[in-house]
Copies of this chain bind each other. A is one copy, B any other.
Amino acid sequence: MAAAGLLSMGLSQAQAAEQVDMEMVGKIRQEAFHHSQVSQTLQHLTEQIGPRLTNSPNMAKANAWTRQQFKDWGLANVHDEAFDDFGRGWEFRSASLELLSPRAQPLHAVPKAWTPGTQGPVEGEAILVSAKTPKDLDKYKGQLRGKIVLLSEAREYKPGTEPDTQRYDEAGLTELLSFSVPKDVKPEDKAKRLKDYRERQEMTAAQNKFLVEEGALAALSISGWDNGILRVGGGGSRRAGESVGVPELAVAAEHYNPLVRALQRKETVRLRLNSDADFTSQSNDPGYNTIAELPGSGKAEEVVMLGAHMDSWHAGTGASDNGAGVAVMMEAIRILKAVGAKPKRTIRVALWSGEEQGLIGSGEYVKQHLAAYPEPTDPEQKKLPAYFREPTGELQRTKEYGKFAAYFNLDNGSGRIRGIYAQENSAVMPIFESWLAPFNDLGATIVTSRNTGSTDHISFDRVGLPGFQFVQDRLDYSTNVHHSDLDTYDHAMPEDLKQAAAVIASFAYNAAMREEKLPRKPLLKE
């Protein structure tokens, strides 16, 4: 109720200023709901192509297929854009892990990305390595040859006391409308985070090298989640020239814990494993974003962008993270083309790569086209991710920076849109409230002043450009599917994808048609 109250207040202020072409809204909704292709698109990406790890052969297939789709739909300027020096490609075809003794049992496991394959089945005894620092490894010298190393401790099962699948109720939406004034960042906290980051990097490199030198056959670690779910990202290294360590698999918690307990009981644990995984290139290859446009007329040089990352992790098929976002963004521009929209500004869609490794595809795109801080000259600084670097000087803006109208992102699963994060950009809030009004009946109601992070709109936001991510129903994103083997087509909700495509097509059209580009917020200096 409180939410509705706040909304109507927002709307009455905004509607004076913002015009929404309701005839266009009607056309968009009809195309989105009655001629949808969004599920077919998602099914192709997930089940005909499969998982799309950055720089994997499947990612290249996805770039090619989405280009062809965009062309078939009559879009313009369809092409891939490279960003240099991402790293090596990798893929896996199959993987198996079997307990041989003290009893026989197949174990549920999947390789970590960018770890080497086993070149056929290997067998060995398990040994638990408990090491937090490179020094801790020393006591295992001479003990690992021919062994399969357990890298994680056992972990206690956490009973699930919330429903797997959740949607926002009124109370949840109302809560999202509140804003917490941020605490000062203490310099010592920042220094601590940097120190922790460096230590983790050093430990990973040291451990990879140690396991290879000591002749370990392979390594196992516990999956990030319980309930047999394989939640896993990368291991080894994607960078040519760095040690990739030994073959490493993440094992279902229910199958991993018993191995540790058997060792604690002093039993001999023998395992057989096979990881049919390969690096598909030997050099630090570029990654590729796929781009397509619906050209504007009148203000064609001004750009509204839609984006979602097409790369995924490899255990599932990247359906909710983020085939859903890709399918919705493709559907949004397909809808606009299909209904004959003639936007004044150019609407450009980007299907990013390298998001899972740190928003790399979108970050490099922004650097190349829009704005960048000077590169650090200190080689130590160069090695760090952007958020750990010292300030290097003034933001360098391209001519396109001034022509950039807005960026909209979708990457919080397949859940329907319930609103949008304004990222503390107060001036856009009444505008977005007007734009959401025709979709209130579909549950899309709130504009929150809050920031949200962790996906590609941040690449725009951090250079002062208006970049936004929508508020989405969580569904089972953070219980079942995020970076897991359950991130598959069946867990994506088709009606939610249709709704999201309609909202986003309309947002893109509004942003392309309004008199002014979207207002910007002041650039934060660090």
Q: Residues on A close to B: CB < 8 A?
A: 43, 47-50, 58, 93-96, 98, 102-106, 108, 110, 156-157, 159-165, 226-229, 253-255, 257-258, 261-262, 265, 267, 276, 316, 475-476, 479-480, 485-486, 488-491, 493
Measured CB to CB, the nearest residue on chain B to A161 is B163
Point out the residue from B93, B106, B160 that lies within 8 Å of A164, measured CB to CB: B160
Task: For the complex formed, measure the closest distance between the CB of A399 and the CB atoms of chain B, giving whole angstroms.
Answer: 43
Q: For the complex, what is the distance from the CA of A267 to the CA of B44, rounded to whole Å? A: 12
Point out the residue from B96, B163, B267, B276 that lies within 8 Å of A163, measured CB to CB: B163
User: What are the residues of chain B within 8 A of A162 when measuring CB–CB?
Assistant: 163
The 4 A-B residue pairs with the shortest CB-CB distance, nearest first, are A160-B164, A93-B104, A159-B165, A157-B490
Q: Please determine whether A50 and B103 come into contact, CB atoms closer than 8 angstroms.
A: yes
Q: Please determine whether B258 and A489 come into contact, CB atoms closer than 8 angstroms.
A: yes
Known contacts A93-B104, A98-B94; decide if A476 and B159 are in contact (CB<8 Å). Answer: yes
Q: For the complex, what is the distance from the CA of A515 to the CA of B434, rounded to whole Å? A: 80
Known contacts A227-B229, A480-B227; decide if A491 and B104 are in contact (CB<8 Å). Answer: no
Known contacts A106-B96, A476-B159, A490-B157; decide if A227 and B48 are in contact (CB<8 Å). Answer: no
30 CB contacts below 8 A, A to B, read A43-B261, A47-B261, A48-B265, A48-B267, A49-B103, A50-B105, A58-B103, A93-B104, A93-B105, A94-B104, A96-B96, A104-B276, A108-B108, A108-B485, A156-B490, A157-B490, A159-B165, A159-B476, A159-B493, A160-B479, A164-B227, A226-B490, A227-B480, A228-B229, A254-B486, A254-B490, A254-B491, A257-B489, A258-B488, A261-B489
User: What are the residues of chain B within 8 A of A488 when measuring CB–CB?
Assistant: 254-255, 258
Besides A47-B262, A157-B490, A164-B227, 9 new A-B residue pairs in contact (Cβ under 8 A), listed by A number: A47-B258, A48-B102, A93-B105, A159-B164, A159-B165, A159-B475, A160-B164, A226-B490, A227-B229
Task: For the complex formed, measure the closest distance between the CB of A230 and the CB atoms of chain B, giving whole angstroms.
Answer: 8
Point out the residue from B49, B93, B106, B156 that lies within 8 Å of A94, measured CB to CB: B106
Task: For the complex formed, measure the closest distance between the CB of A490 and the CB atoms of chain B, giving whole angstroms.
Answer: 4
Q: For the complex, what is the distance from the CA of A43 to the CA of B163, rounded to whole Å? A: 29
Q: For the complex, what is the distance from the CA of A227 to the CA of B93, rounded to whole Å? A: 22
User: What are the residues of chain B within 8 A of A255 when measuring CB–CB?
Assistant: 488
User: What are the residues of chain B within 8 A of A254 when measuring CB–CB?
Assistant: 316, 485-486, 488, 490-491
Q: Please determine whether B163 and A160 come into contact, CB atoms closer than 8 angstroms.
A: yes
Q: Please determine whether B485 and A228 come into contact, CB atoms closer than 8 angstroms.
A: yes
Q: For the complex, what is the distance from the CA of A48 to the CA of B103, rounded to whole Å? A: 8
Q: Please determine whether A228 and B486 come into contact, CB atoms closer than 8 angstroms.
A: yes
Measured CB to CB, the nearest residue on chain B to A47 is B258
User: What are the residues of chain B within 8 A of A105 when measuring CB–CB?
Assistant: 50, 93-94
User: What are the residues of chain B within 8 A of A164 when measuring CB–CB?
Assistant: 159-161, 164, 227
User: What are the residues of chain B within 8 A of A316 when measuring CB–CB?
Assistant: 254
Q: For the complex, what is the distance from the CA of A48 to the CA of B485, rounded to whole Å? A: 28
Q: For the complex, what is the distance from the CA of A96 to the CA of B58, rounded to whole Å? A: 23
User: What are the residues of chain B within 8 A of A157 when measuring CB–CB?
Assistant: 490-491
Measured CB to CB, the nearest residue on chain B to A488 is B254
Q: For the complex, what is the distance from the CA of A158 to the CA of B474, rounded to whole Å? A: 15
Q: For the complex, what is the distance from the CA of A93 to the CA of B106, rounded to whole Å? A: 7
Q: For the complex, what is the distance from the CA of A227 to the CA of B480, rounded to whole Å? A: 7
Measured CB to CB, the nearest residue on chain B to A51 is B105
Task: For the complex formed, measure the closest distance between the CB of A134 and the CB atoms of chain B, giving whole angstroms.
Answer: 31
Q: For the complex, what is the distance from the CA of A110 to the CA of B267, rounded to whole Å? A: 26
User: What are the residues of chain B within 8 A of A58 when measuring CB–CB?
Assistant: 103
Task: For the complex formed, measure the closest distance between the CB of A159 and the CB atoms of chain B, giving whole angstroms.
Answer: 4
User: What are the residues of chain B within 8 A of A49 when measuring CB–CB?
Assistant: 103
Task: For the complex formed, measure the closest distance between the CB of A65 and the CB atoms of chain B, giving whole angstroms.
Answer: 13
Task: For the complex formed, measure the closest distance between the CB of A92 and the CB atoms of chain B, giving whole angstroms.
Answer: 8
Task: For the complex formed, measure the closest distance between the CB of A119 and the CB atoms of chain B, giving whole angstroms.
Answer: 16
User: What are the residues of chain B within 8 A of A493 when measuring CB–CB?
Assistant: 159
User: What are the residues of chain B within 8 A of A479 when measuring CB–CB?
Assistant: 160
A94, A102, A485, most chain B CB atoms within 10 A? A94
Q: For the complex, what is the distance from the CA of A162 to the CA of B50, rounded to whole Å? A: 30
User: What are the residues of chain B within 8 A of A276 when measuring CB–CB?
Assistant: 104
Q: For the complex, what is the distance from the CA of A15 to the CA of B130, rounded to whole Å? A: 56
Task: For the complex formed, measure the closest distance between the CB of A275 and the CB atoms of chain B, giving whole angstroms.
Answer: 10
Q: For the complex, what is the distance from the CA of A95 to the CA of B160, rounded to whole Å? A: 29
Task: For the complex formed, measure the closest distance between the CB of A118 and the CB atoms of chain B, giving whole angstroms.
Answer: 14
Measured CB to CB, the nearest residue on chain B to A490 is B157
User: What are the residues of chain B within 8 A of A156 when measuring CB–CB?
Assistant: 490
Measured CB to CB, the nearest residue on chain B to A257 is B490
User: What are the residues of chain B within 8 A of A229 when measuring CB–CB?
Assistant: 227-228
Q: For the complex, what is the distance from the CA of A523 to the CA of B98, rounded to whole Å? A: 52
Task: For the complex formed, measure the closest distance between the CB of A257 and the CB atoms of chain B, giving whole angstroms.
Answer: 5
Q: For the complex, what is the distance from the CA of A257 to the CA of B43, rounded to whole Å? A: 12
Q: For the complex, what is the distance from the CA of A255 to the CA of B319, rounded to whole Å? A: 13
User: What are the residues of chain B within 8 A of A227 when measuring CB–CB?
Assistant: 164, 227-229, 480, 486
